[in-house]
Amino acid sequence: MKRAKTSKAWMKEHVNDFFVKQAKKEGYRSRAAYKLLEITEKDQILKPGLTVVDLGAAPGSWSQVASHKIGRGGKVIAVDILEMTSLPGVEFIQGDFREEYVIVELKKNLGNDQLDLVISDMSPNMSGIVISDQARSMYLAELALAFSMEQLNYGGNFLVKVFQGRDFDQFLFDMRAGFKNVIIRKPKASRDRSNELYLLGLGKK
């Protein structure tokens, strides 16, 4: 009974959410687009001509933003285990980015281009058990960081969603070890009750 009430409350909030309405109005696939839009407005991480990989891209709102910002001279490669409807100017690879065949396909798509930016808005399927959800979220962030350190060009940037809690300080330490500067962002489109933050690593060492 409690779960049903919670679900109804969430649905009511979702339907009335400003960013949900705005996303429908402007043609974005989810409200998450506005998180990336705000961050890139502040930190100028999406520029014309860049090569970008979007990890856990489905349904594709971050890839939409990235493709628009980098223009025809740039390249966006979206990766997700889930299916994703095609987007203009976005190459999509379906699979687990830890698997060798995905890396092979990624390098084929990159060609001679250097990877300038990795973005990751990945979240696990939430169970409602805070400690468990936080641990699984941090695991995804760690995988994205490892991918970035292996694939990014020197001087490249990395944006990732994390959740405050156990292991956050260690992850922040690891980010600072790999990048010249690390910035913490909490976009307006991130719901107040959520403990999600975005860490932006600038200048891979």
Interatomic CA distance for residues 22 and 66, integer angstroms: 18
Asked if residue 80 belongs to a known ligand binding site, the reply is yes
Asked if residue 96 belongs to a known ligand binding site, the reply is yes
Q: Which residues are catalytic?
A: 161
Interatomic CA distance for residues 73 and 187, integer angstroms: 28
> Is there a contact between 34 and 22 (Cβ–Cβ < 8 Å)?
yes
Asked if residue 62 belongs to a known ligand binding site, the reply is yes
Interatomic CA distance for residues 176 and 162, integer angstroms: 15
Asked if residue 17 belongs to a known ligand binding site, the reply is no
Sheet containing 90-94, strands listed edge to edge, beginning at the edge strand earlier in sequence: 90-94, 75-80, 51-55, 117-120, 157-163, 196-204, 179-185
What are the binding residues for S-adenosyl-L-methionine? 60, 62, 80, 96, 121
What are the binding residues? 60, 62, 80, 96, 121
